[in-house]
Structure 1
Amino acid sequence: MQGMSERQYASHVGLSRGAIQKAKTAERLVLHEDGSIDAEASDARRAAMTDPSKTRKPPAPKLKPVPDAAVSAVGDTLREQGLAAPPVGSGTTFLQAKTANEVLKAQERRIRLQKLKGELVDRARAVAVVFRLAREERDAWVNWPARAAALMAAELGVEAAAMQKALEKHVRAHLDELAEVRPEFR
């Protein structure tokens, strides 16, 4: 065989075998004496005989724009894991996005496992428990001067009402200082 078969030429030009057979019938291909296709001569003849306006162009892929927040989230995830992240505005490659997705899935599975093992605590529940304990502690301190003032006054030989008033003043000042402390749950 001197040239290409129909299948080989179809693969060479990116067309179907049926399209090559039609071109052969319409004499848009150059054939060798043995019936095989002369690729170079056929390419030139097809280019000369084909109307460019009637050729199908592959449609441009319709890609949705990716929000900047998503791109920056990918970069943040990669940086958190010590991996290379794209500079802002340069775009993210598919591989980087896929890596970030795998990292997030692994983190999610780790958190789910910790929750199943009882190693993680529900944030709302923890805040409620801390608030309840702080309230109980505060109430205990507010009631303490009334209980301890008489005993302390007897030991020191001072009037119980004056001792209670002084203790309440200092305890309330101390509780006001403690009220400024805000727990942070991260």
Structure 2
Amino acid sequence: MGMSRRQYAAHRGVSHTAVGKAISSGRISLEADGSIDPVTADRQWDAQTDPAKQRGAHARALGTATAAGTARASAATRPVPRAAIESVGETLREAGADPDPGAGGEVSFLRARMANEVLKAQTAKVKLARMKGELVDRARTTTMVFDLARRERDAWQNWPARVAANMAADLGVDAHRMEQVLDNYLRQHLADLAEVKIDLR
């Protein structure tokens, strides 16, 4: 025979309504007679509840154990898709933490939460940099650079026709031939410049 809801609440150090919510949400299970087995219920409660949201004396003991090491976290793992594990590992690696997942391709709640907090901090950092004007929109910048380069190219392509007659008069050569020579060499030069690749990463 197990404990009643009120007895288990006193054992756990929480209110009887918290126990009722845990039962109705499926975080802890009842025995066949409707009572609560404290050992099984404690294990289920710890495994299925965010450590940051636990209350009572039992939660303080769990917090102490978690602070001393992550032994409880390894017991509270659930299998997750490989892509999610790799994403958590990549985020933790970028933050300088150990990205190694748990045994059997599992990620503990604490590791997933740490990755989530790192992502939130990175997002806040990017938003702050954008608000300060330290970041620019990549697509807009690429478009502006492309437009500037096109205007520059067009101006240079029109240059031989504008200056060929004056240069030919200064040098005493045929104006039409001068324009052809300038245009030919200028197009070769612009083709060489077009080979330059811009990488805005």
| TM-score bin (small chain) | 0.5 to 0.7
Which residue of 2 is the match for residue 139 of structure 1?
A: 154
Amino acid in the other structure paired with 1:66: V
Which residue of 2 is the match for residue 16 of structure 1?
A: 4
Query: Which runs of structure 2 are paired with 1:23-172 in the superposition (5 Å)?
Result: 65-86=79-100, 90-172=105-187
Q: Secondary structure at the match of 1:75?
A: helix
Percent identity, aligned pairs only?
51
Distance 1:55 1:178, change over 3 A: farther
Q: Deviations over 1:115-146 (max 9, x none)?
A: 11222111221112111101110101101111
Distance 1:72 1:157, change over 3 A: same
Between the two proteins, the alignment pairs up a number of residues equal to 141
Per the TM alignment, residue 65 of structure 1 is displaced from its structure 2 partner at its CA by 4.8
Distance 1:18 1:163, change over 3 A: closer
Instruction: Give RMSD over aligned pairs.
Output: 3.2
Max radius of gyration: which structure?
1
Distance 1:171 1:87, change over 3 A: farther
Q: Secondary structure at the match of 1:84?
A: coil
Distance 1:108 1:136, change over 3 A: same
Q: Secondary structure at the match of 1:92?
A: strand
Aligned partners of 2:130 and 2:136 also within 8 Å? yes
Aligned partners of 2:157 and 2:183 also within 8 Å? yes
TM-score of the pair, normalised by structure 2: 0.59
Per the TM alignment, residue 75 of structure 1 is displaced from its structure 2 partner at its CA by 0.7
Distance 1:84 1:93, change over 3 A: same
Alpha-carbon distance in structure 1 between the residues aligned to 2:185 and 2:101: 57
Q: Secondary structure at the match of 2:177?
A: helix
Alpha-carbon distance in structure 1 between the residues aligned to 2:198 and 2:179: 31
Q: After the TM superposition, which segments of 4 or more aligned residues of structure 1 sit over 6 Å from their partners?
A: 55-64
Aligned partners of 1:86 and 1:92 also within 8 Å? no
Per the TM alignment, residue 17 of structure 1 is displaced from its structure 2 partner at its CA by 8.2
Amino acid in the other structure paired with 1:80: E
